Amino acid sequence: MPRDKAYKFAAQAVLGSAKMVLETEKHPGVLKDMVCSPGGTTIEGVVSLEENGLRASIIEAVRIATKKSKDLAK
C-alpha cells in the first residue's frame, strides 16, 4: 500500500474507533469484541498490538504527559 494511502487508512481507522466510543458510550473492549471475529484479521492485529506493548506505551505516555503538565503548572 502506498504511504499516502496508508496514512489515510490509519487515520480513518482511529477516527472511526474514537467516534464509536463517543457515540455509543460503550467501553472500547466491548466494541472490540463486537467487531473482532475469532481468528479474523482484526483480532490478529489487536493481538499483535498487545504483544508489542501498545497499551502499556499509551498508559505510560499519558502518565508522563500528565506529570509534565502538573510540573509546568507549578
Cell numbers for 13? 481507522
Going by the DSSP 8-state scheme, the letter that residue 74 receives in this structure is: -
Query: E-strand spans in the chain?
Result: none
**Is 31 buried (19+), middle (13-18) or exposed (0-12) by CB count in 10 A?**
middle
For residue 69 the three cell numbers come to: 503538565
Q: 47-56 burial by CB neighbour count: b if 16+ within 10 A, else e?
A: eeeeeeeeee
Q: Is the pTM of this model over 0.75?
A: no
pLDDT tens-digit readout, 12-71: 999 999 999 999 999 999 999 999 999 999 999 999 999 999 999 999 999 999 999 999
